Amino acid sequence: QVQLVESGGGLVQAGGSLRLSCVLSGSIFSITAIDWFRQAAGKQREVVASISSGGGLGYADSVKGRFTISRDNTKNTVYLQMNSLKPEDTAVYYCNARVGDVDYWGQGTQVTVSS
């Protein structure tokens, strides 16, 4: 079992920045990858950034050059630094941990970008 707790969301003006945090606990040694997803109202959940256990990174085209995923193993935390935010980035952001074929999810944190 893996538990995830996100924080850092909020209201920001377009062009601003936020840093989301995802604190991991439980059987974190078994995690193969961590993803940040987002789900806007009325839309499907989509992956925005990924980091593998080996450190490999991946980003959705819509956030490349603006978002950065990173991790601090000493704090069991994965971050999503979001810069140059746009109104279309407004969504609930979720942290996901993959353990084999099982996905674990956090509760989500709301990000709202005003124009």
What lies within 8 Å, CB to CB, of 14 at 6+ separation is 85, 86, 87, 113, 114, 115
How high is the pLDDT of residue 62? Answer: 97
How high is the pLDDT of residue 77? Answer: 97
Mean pLDDT, rounded, for 51-78: 96
Mean pLDDT, rounded, for 52-58: 93
- Rounded Cα distance between 39 and 47, Å, is 9
pLDDT tens, 17-37?
999 999 999 999 999 999 999
Structure tokens at 59: 């980003």
How high is the pLDDT of residue 44? Answer: 97
